[in-house]
């Protein structure tokens, strides 16, 4: 260890290497992570945490697998936050703002405090995509919320009790099924995958180390 920092996990002090993430620092300190962890690559949203730096007043929300420890960091992981998840048949729902009034009426109680946007660790304009949902602009809501990882931090801070991730999920489903034009090229590719045309390539990719996969992804050719 070249350098260590002092952190506080649930109020208890630990000295850990300064190059660790919050998640790996917890494991280094002896915590066995059974819940509150998932993909470990910033996509599943399971490891939501909050922290404050000693001497500062701002409370930060983050993903524990993506955030490096800092000296005098006071950390607590967030427990599972129960979101309102309505059951619906995507084949039968109305494709207008009425669907939001029926399934998620709490979005119309939004007070515009922006607590959801301020707490979003993905940097999304959460309050804006809720505004789009309120007026039935599902395409804009889907676009604005595209990078949501369903962590629920926004909902945990909302005084109106809005389940923002579930509202966004409904908007994306409506947008994908009813609004976006059908893509023949995509349909052909999905059929090829089901027929096994890419089995060998997929098998090869599954054997590659993570760093090589990241390099391939970052330098991929994006079709117009």
Reported as a single tens digit per residue, the pLDDT across 47-56 is 888 899 999 9
Q: How would you class 69 by CB atoms within 10 Å of its CB: exposed for 0-12, middle for 13-18, buried for 19 or more?
A: buried
In the predicted model, is pLDDT for residue 1 greater than 60?
no
Structure tokens at 73: 């960091």
Q: Provide the domain count of the chain.
A: 3
How close are the terminal C-alpha atoms of the chain, in Å?
47
- Asked if residue 93 belongs to a domain, the reply is no
- Asked if residue 84 belongs to a domain, the reply is no
Residue 48 belongs to domain with CATH number: 3.10.20.740
Structure tokens at 20: 């660790």
- Residue numbers of the domain that contains 12: 4-77
- Asked if residue 146 belongs to a domain, the reply is yes
107 lies in the same domain as 161:
yes
Q: Are strands 4-9 and 60-63 parallel, antiparallel or unpaired?
A: unpaired
**Closest Cα to residue 78, out of 10, 25, 146, 12?**
10
Query: Hunting for tokens 């994306």 — which residue is that?
Result: 172
- Asked if residue 213 belongs to a domain, the reply is yes
- Asked if residue 39 belongs to a domain, the reply is yes
CA 147 to chain CA centroid, nearest Å: 7
Question: How many beta carbons lie within 10 A of that of residue 27, not counting itself?
Answer: 14
CA 181 to chain CA centroid, nearest Å: 26
Rounded to an integer, what distance in angstroms lies between the CA atom of residue 177 and that of residue 131?
21
pLDDT confidence tier of residue 223, bands split at 50, 70 and 90 = low
Average pLDDT, stretch 5-23?
Answer: 94
**Closest Cα to residue 173, out of 83, 114, 85?**
85
- Asked if residue 92 belongs to a domain, the reply is no
CA 93 to chain CA centroid, nearest Å: 26
- Asked if residue 134 belongs to a domain, the reply is yes
- Average pLDDT of every residue of the chain: 90
- Asked if residue 86 belongs to a domain, the reply is no
Average pLDDT, stretch 87-114?
Answer: 93
138 lies in the same domain as 112:
yes
Average pLDDT, stretch 114-133?
Answer: 93
Average pLDDT, stretch 146-172?
Answer: 92
147 lies in the same domain as 170:
yes
173 lies in the same domain as 198:
no
Rounded to an integer, what distance in angstroms lies between the CA atom of residue 198 and that of residue 194?
9
Which comes out higher in pLDDT, residue 143 or 38? 143
pLDDT confidence tier of residue 71, bands split at 50, 70 and 90 = very high
Rounded to an integer, what distance in angstroms lies between the CA atom of residue 8 and that of residue 32?
16
Give the tens place of pLDDT for each residue, 159-169.
Answer: 999 999 999 99
In the predicted model, is pLDDT for residue 224 greater than 80?
no
Average pLDDT, stretch 151-161?
Answer: 89
Residue 158, helix vs strand vs coil: coil
Q: 3-state secondary structure string, 171-221? A: HHHHHHHHHCCCCHHHHHHHHHHHCCCCHHHHHHHHCCCHHHHHHHHHCCC
């Amino acid at each position: 260890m070249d350098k260590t920092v002092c952190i506080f996990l649930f109020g208890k002090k630990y000295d850990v290497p300064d190059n660790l993430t919050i998640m790996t620092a917890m494991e280094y300190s002896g915590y066995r992570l059974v819940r509150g962890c998932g993909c470990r690559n910033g996509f599943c949203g399971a490891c939501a945490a909050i922290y404050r730096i000693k001497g500062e007043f701002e409370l930060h929300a983050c993903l524990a697998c993506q955030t490096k420890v800092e000296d005098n960091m006071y950390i607590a992981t967030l427990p599972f936050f129960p979101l309102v998840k309505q059951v619906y048949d995507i084949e039968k729902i109305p494709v207008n703002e009425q669907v939001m009034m029926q399934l998620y009426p709490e979005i119309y109680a939004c007070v515009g405090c922006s607590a959801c946007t301020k707490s979003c660790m993905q940097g999304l304009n959460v309050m804006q995509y809720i505004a789009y949902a309120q007026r039935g602009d599902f395409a804009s809501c889907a676009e604005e919320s595209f990078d949501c990882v369903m962590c629920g931090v926004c909902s945990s801070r909302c005084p109106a009790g809005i389940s923002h991730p579930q509202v966004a999920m409904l908007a994306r489903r409506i947008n994908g099924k009813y609004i976006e034009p059908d893509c023949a090229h995509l349909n052909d590719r999905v059929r090829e995958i089901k027929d096994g045309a890419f089995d060998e390539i997929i098998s090869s990719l599954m054997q590659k180390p993570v760093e090589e996969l990241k390099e391939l992804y970052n330098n991929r050719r994006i079709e117009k």
